[in-house]
Structure 1
Amino acid sequence: MLVKKLKEGILGVLFPDICSVCGLKLSDHEHAVCTSCLNEKFEEAWSRKSFSSSGVLLPEGITIQHALWNFDKGGHLQELLHQLKYNRLTGVGVDLGRQLGKSLLRNSLFTERIKSEKVTLIPVPLHAKKRRMRGYNQAFHIAKGVSEVTGLHIIKQDAVLRNKNTSTQTGFSIEKRRKNIEGAFDVVSISAIEDAVCVIVDDVFTTGATTFELAANLKKAGSKEIIIATVAQA
């Protein structure tokens, strides 16, 4: 017991529990980001009466595109997502996922659709090479937070794969993004997708090229309907 307390004390000094945004100490019930920052620092994107928070025309099979916050280039949210994606702060992803989950449950368009017996969360998969380099998939940790709040099941990691190691899409035109991501995904477990309401989870929705490509594969595999849920929209 003494050793455990000593270890916790040392870790507390070396890695203090402070908010990733404001730098203030986190309370016991807070994780990577304090409640105040989560509630006040970001601009809400989704609308209770809109099927698409970005206003983009959704392809057949996709019924809702829900983004929690508007992307703030150079701001706190961009920094948080960067920390999650490249600096192994997976706790940030879970925190953001919890907030995304709460906003989804406030969206009646969403809650009506998850009354189905078969609903599954699908984090946008990373290519195996990129996942090995990074050590994790940031979308999975966001999905973990969503799952905690909504109670929805996360699909097994190998059920849907990314078989094309695409280059970053930053700066690409819409058409180039589509070409870059074309044929990138493969549904391995048809039974996990067939007749299911599939909720695709990712960090940022920009043009929709990635999530739309994944959705097309899920639709071919027999998905009942598809919902896109992201932390941000650019």
Structure 2
Amino acid sequence: MKELIRNMIKGVSDIVFPRVCVCCGRENTECQRQLCSFCLQERFADANPQNNRISSDILLPAGVIAQHAMWTFDKGGELQDLMHLLKYERLTTIGLDLGRKLGERVRKHPFLEKKLSRRTSVILPVPLHYLKYRYRGFNQAFKIARGFQQVWTDLALCERTCVVRRKNTRTQTGFSLEKRLKNMKNAFRLNDPSQLAGQLVVIIDDVFTTGATTFELAQTVLKAEAHAVVILTVAQA
């Protein structure tokens, strides 16, 4: 009887709230996911199809051994719309979907797969300033990192207070590289170096543009005597 009731409720729910992909609008058969398999597999361009150590043309600072973005950012396109749904419409399950896909993509990157599998590693989502966190209610980088960890189950996720963001910087869209770097200077504070010492720190964020944010965070964690840093993002702008 209980099973019958559950099936009836599920049937009504599927009619009233049909499971559709938030990206393409097609029926989504993946339970508790916002994105369909097609959009996760085929819709967006791979930002690093050759599996290079760097997916951008930016010189990495000392201590950062790799920078990898999964997809190429399409300003004004569907990927940007997807990011906005995650960040501003609070569809946080999108972050988990993207994080899992990023984790699967890294499994196919020989250099990264080897480094993350053979070295004691810890995942560090880019921290959000507490005022933005209070306004938004969540950190999109943390959601992506949580999805990533569901694929890389042996990797620990840093506690949220390990590194905090002490500067409430506004959006850096349209800023020059010089202004971005100045804006991010001393933006992070390290509270618990013991979580990072000797570790390969995997920094995770949504979009990589100039590297100003993630490079500043990398320098902060390297002061905690982290072994090295890898930067992973969903998109490359």
Settle same-fold status: TM greater than 0.5: yes
Q: Tell me which residue corresponds to 2:88.
A: 86
Secondary structure at 1:114 match in 2: helix
Contact kept? 1:116, 1:197, Cα under 8 Å: no
Letter in 2 for 1:196: Q
**Residue number among 151, 164, 167 corresponding to 2:167 in the alignment:** 164
- Work out the CA distance in 1 between the residues paired with 2:122 and 2:34: 26
Shift of 1:23: 0.5
CA gap of 1:38–1:115, structure 2 versus 1, over 3 A, is closer
State the Cα deviation string for residues 126-162 of structure 1 (Å, max 9, x = none). Answer: 0011001000000011011111112122111111101
Secondary structure at 2:117 match in 1: coil
Compute the TM-score of the two structures, normalised by the length of structure 2: 0.93
CA gap of 1:14–1:131, structure 2 versus 1, over 3 A, is farther
Shift of 1:60: 0.2
Q: Answer with 46-55 or 199-208: which moved more.
A: 46-55
Q: Tell me which residue corresponds to 2:105.
A: 103
CA gap of 1:32–1:221, structure 2 versus 1, over 3 A, is same
Q: Tell me which residue corresponds to 2:233.
A: 230
Is 1:61 the counterpart of 2:85? The answer is no
Letter in 2 for 1:44: D
Q: Tell me which residue corresponds to 1:41.
A: 43
CA gap of 1:10–1:59, structure 2 versus 1, over 3 A, is same
Letter in 2 for 1:34: C
Letter in 1 for 2:101: Q
**Residue number among 128, 131, 136 corresponding to 1:129 in the alignment:** 131
Secondary structure at 1:203 match in 2: strand
Identity of aligned residues (%): 45
Letter in 1 for 2:179: K
Compute the TM-score of the two structures, normalised by the length of structure 1: 0.94
**Residue number among 195, 201, 204 corresponding to 1:201 in the alignment:** 204
Contact kept? 2:127, 2:139, Cα under 8 Å: yes
CA gap of 1:195–1:74, structure 2 versus 1, over 3 A, is same
Structure 1: runs of 5 or more not aligned: none
Q: Tell me which residue corresponds to 1:73.
A: 75
State the Cα deviation string for residues 164-192 of structure 1 (Å, max 9, x = none). Answer: 11111011000111111111111111100
| Count of paired positions | 234
- Work out the CA distance in 2 between the residues paired with 1:15 and 1:201: 32
**Residue number among 175, 179, 182 corresponding to 2:178 in the alignment:** 175
